[in-house]
């Protein structure tokens, strides 16, 4: 008996495919993600190792599924086995899993295949399913990625030696960077007398723009590496170059090109606390309160997001009180930033349809980046980028608050997004332009450029596909 109701039988058909279309698979994934947006998204991943002729000699693929990363296939060319390529691939899988917030890594392997390999990586058999060919079984293994990821944040009383530690390190940084170094500043809680802090010296270093070409991020990374610094990326602040150093002196180093607004933010906040004992004590109390929540001590990709981001409102209030008005360009990270982004999406796009935003799942997807534009402490703009293969990207949304339009913020925001993409080695940007916005895009050298949307994004039929080379 057919499982399909007879009254629908003539209207529907079942298609069997041994090689399903990538677009069809992505359609299913997208629909499932839409229905479970509150739980996070599901998406595939893959890593490959190629030789000097661009041939794949090793690779793995799998899925991120609701807080777990599952490796489906792992293969190494027979000529390259026992050379730790498999181990290297799995290291990248685990690092990526932590980056996107996964707590566990899982694999499945037949009893005659790779159990020993995975156990050497720390995997443990979760359960075994028998009944396969030749009496074999399928083993399901699991690795806790959260191991050693939860560490207590310890605040200690102010240490009068902290400024001396800063000066010692600042001299080394200035000497090593040479003429490219503009300034070195002691920032963060260790720079504020009488304020308890984590015993790590925060340093902002200002450098000249990366001109000429031989002075580059890679060059700076190599130079600072000679002092024991490890590059950690930008996290949620575009055009920030973050480094850490652990040893006799523990340092968090924040490097910015001259003119970056975050330089002024960190100095303004430091100086405000130095001048206002009452506000300093309020900040100390806030940090103590945050640390009562165990989640504040959970690391994600070398960062304590809960501890760091929950101080954001306090910092923004200080900026507001001090009259800070400059523009700031950040990735959505704080709860209020994400909520603002969703507000902009709904108000300026989906209310016009009218439907509820069907793409909220993109906030949990690593191929989607969400930006916020501040004016002082006020969020005035929002941008959504889809990162694609082949060094291309798609500008999903860019919008400025209605009260701030016709003041140059839209063009400024667009240029910052383009600069960030270019720094990440993306060379093409696409967009769907409404007829009303086409002149805006033309002003910034966009032209008609059709493209195959990787998500099957449902834009307005009257929209015009545009793009430009970065």
Parse the chain into domains and list their residue ranges.
36-144, 162-320, 325-469
Cα separation, 360 vs 424, in Å, equals 24
Measured in degrees and rounded to the nearest 5, phi and psi for residue 251 equal: -130, 135
Fold for the domain defined by 162-320: Beta Polymerase; domain 2 (3.30.460)
Cα separation, 300 vs 306, in Å, equals 9
Is residue 219 within a helix (H) or strand (E), and if so which, with residue range?
Answer: helix 217-225
Domains 36-144 and 325-469 share a fold: yes
Tens-digit pLDDT profile for the chain (470 aa)? 456 566 655 677 777 777 777 777 777 777 776 666 555 667 888 999 988 888 999 999 998 887 789 999 999 999 888 888 898 899 889 988 887 778 899 999 998 888 888 988 889 988 889 888 888 889 999 998 864 444 567 889 999 999 999 999 999 999 999 999 999 999 999 999 999 998 999 999 999 988 766 677 788 888 999 999 988 888 889 999 999 998 888 999 999 999 999 999 999 999 999 999 999 999 999 888 887 766 555 554 444 445 566 788 888 899 999 989 999 999 998 878 888 999 999 999 988 878 888 888 888 788 899 999 999 999 999 999 999 878 899 999 999 999 999 999 999 999 999 999 998 889 999 999 999 999 999 999 999 998 888 777 777 788 999 999 99
pLDDT at residue number 199: 92
pLDDT at residue number 326: 93
CB-based burial label for 452 (10 Å; 0-12, 13-18, 19+): exposed
Q: Residue 368 forms beta bridges with which residues?
A: 386
Fold for the domain defined by 325-469: Aminopeptidase (3.40.630)
**Tokens at residue 418, please?**
């383009």
Name the CATH superfamily for 36-144: Gcn5-related N-acetyltransferase (GNAT) (3.40.630.30)
Are 228 and 245 within 8 A, CB to CB? yes
Cα separation, 427 vs 393, in Å, equals 8
Measured in degrees and rounded to the nearest 5, phi and psi for residue 463 equal: -65, 150
pTM of the model as a whole: 0.69
Are 201 and 244 within 8 A, CB to CB? no
Cα separation, 252 vs 274, in Å, equals 20
Radius of gyration of the chain (CA): 25
77-116 burial, b for 16+ CB within 10 Å, e for fewer?
A: eeeeeeeebbeebbeebbebbbebbbebbbbebeeeebbe
pLDDT at residue number 34: 65
Q: Is 390 left (phi over 0), alpha (psi -120 to 50) or beta?
A: left
Cα separation, 102 vs 82, in Å, equals 28
Pairing between β-strand 251-257 and β-strand 201-207 as defined by DSSP bridges: parallel
Percentage helix, strand, coil, to 5, in the chain? 35, 30, 35
């Amino acid at each position: 008996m057919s499982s399909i109701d007879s009254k629908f039988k003539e209207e529907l058909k079942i298609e069997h495919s041994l090689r399903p279309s990538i677009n069809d698979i992505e359609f299913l994934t997208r629909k499932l993600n839409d229905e479970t947006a509150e739980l996070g998204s599901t998406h595939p991943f893959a890593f490959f190792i190629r030789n000097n002729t661009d041939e794949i000699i090793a690779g793995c693929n799998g899925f991120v599924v609701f807080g777990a990363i599952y490796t489906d296939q792992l293969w190494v060319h027979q000529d390259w086995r026992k050379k730790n390529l498999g181990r290297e691939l799995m290291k990248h899988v685990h690092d990526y899993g932590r980056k996107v917030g996964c707590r566990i890594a899982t694999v499945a392997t037949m009893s005659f295949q790779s159990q020993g390999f995975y156990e050497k990586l720390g995997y443990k058999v979760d359960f075994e399913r028998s009944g396969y060919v030749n009496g074999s079984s399928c083993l399901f293994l699991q690795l806790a990625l959260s191991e050693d990821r939860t560490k207590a944040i310890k605040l200690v009383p102010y240490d009068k030696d902290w400024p001396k530690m800063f000066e010692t390190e600042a001299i080394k940084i200035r000497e090593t960077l040479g003429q490219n170094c503009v300034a070195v500043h002691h920032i963060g809680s260790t720079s504020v007398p009488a304020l308890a802090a984590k015993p790590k010296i925060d340093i902002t270093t200002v450098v000249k723009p990366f001109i000429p070409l031989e002075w580059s991020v890679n060059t700076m990374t190599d130079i600072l590496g000679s002092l024991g610094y490890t590059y950690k990326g930008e996290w949620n602040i575009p055009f920030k170059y973050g480094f850490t150093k652990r040893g006799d002196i523990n340092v968090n180093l924040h490097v910015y090109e001259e003119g970056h607004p975050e330089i002024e933010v960190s100095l303004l906040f430091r100086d405000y606390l130095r001048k206002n004992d009452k506000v300093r004590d309020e900040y100390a109390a806030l940090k103590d309160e945050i640390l009562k929540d165990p989640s504040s001590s959970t690391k994600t990709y070398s960062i304590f997001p809960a501890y760091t981001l929950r101080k954001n409102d306090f910092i923004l209030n200080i900026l507001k009180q001090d009259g800070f008005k400059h523009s700031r360009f950040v990735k959505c990270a704080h709860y209020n930033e994400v909520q603002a982004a969703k507000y902009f999406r709904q108000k300026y796009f989906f209310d016009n349809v009218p439907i509820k935003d069907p793409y909220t799942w993109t906030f949990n997807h690593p191929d989607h980046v969400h930006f916020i534009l501040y004016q002082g402490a006020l969020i005035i703009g929002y941008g959504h980028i889809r990162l694609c293969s082949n060094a291309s990207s798609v500008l999903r949304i860019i919008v400025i608050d209605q009260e701030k339009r016709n003041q140059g913020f839209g063009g400024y925001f667009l240029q910052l997004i383009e600069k960030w993409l270019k720094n990440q080695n993306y060379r093409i940007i696409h967009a769907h332009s409404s007829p009303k916005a086409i002149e805006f895009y033309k002003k910034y050298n966009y032209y008609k450029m059709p493209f195959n949307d990787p998500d099957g994004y449902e834009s307005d039929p009257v929209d015009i596909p545009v793009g430009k080379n970065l």
